[in-house]
């Protein structure tokens, strides 16, 4: 349509074509800004979810460390006061976690 305007309307046609082009560019800018804004919101939401997941992982790791201490203390109590042989406790631990069973308590 642009060439028809130019032929029929001359400079006015050119100006109308330029105005249409500017309108199209402004619409594209608006859509790009909206997409950028949506991406920022999505990124912020994902960042918050990751931060929550990291915090929960830290809490769980601390809880696991505490549980390991409890089990170790209970094992030592069994060995010292209940007369359970250390090797038997090590075999039990090795049955549950082969990596841990090889280590002396």
Is residue 26 over pLDDT 80? yes
Q: What is the pLDDT of residues 71-92, one digit of tens each?
A: 999 999 999 999 999 999 999 8
pLDDT of residue 69: 95
Q: 62-90: string of b/e by CB count within 10 Å (b at 16+)?
A: eeeeeeeeeeeeebeebbeeeeeeeeebb
| pTM beyond cutoff 0.85 | no
Tokens of 96: 């549950």
Cα 105 from Cα 97, distance rounded (Å): 14
Q: What is the pLDDT of residues 46-76, one digit of tens each?
A: 999 999 999 999 999 999 999 999 999 999 9
> With left for phi above 0 and alpha for psi between -120 and 50, is residue 45 left, alpha or beta?
alpha
């Amino acid at each position: 349509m642009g060439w028809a305007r130019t032929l029929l309307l001359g400079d006015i046609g050119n100006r109308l074509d330029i105005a249409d082009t500017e309108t199209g560019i402004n619409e594209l800018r608006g859509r790009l800004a909206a997409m950028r804004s949506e991406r920022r919101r999505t990124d912020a939401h994902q960042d918050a979810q990751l931060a929550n997941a990291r915090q929960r992982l830290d809490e769980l790791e601390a809880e696991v460390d505490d549980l390991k201490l409890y089990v170790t203390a209970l094992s030592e109590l069994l060995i010292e006061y209940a007369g359970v042989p250390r090797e038997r406790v090590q075999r039990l631990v090795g049955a549950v976690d082969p990596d841990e069973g090889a280590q002396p308590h």
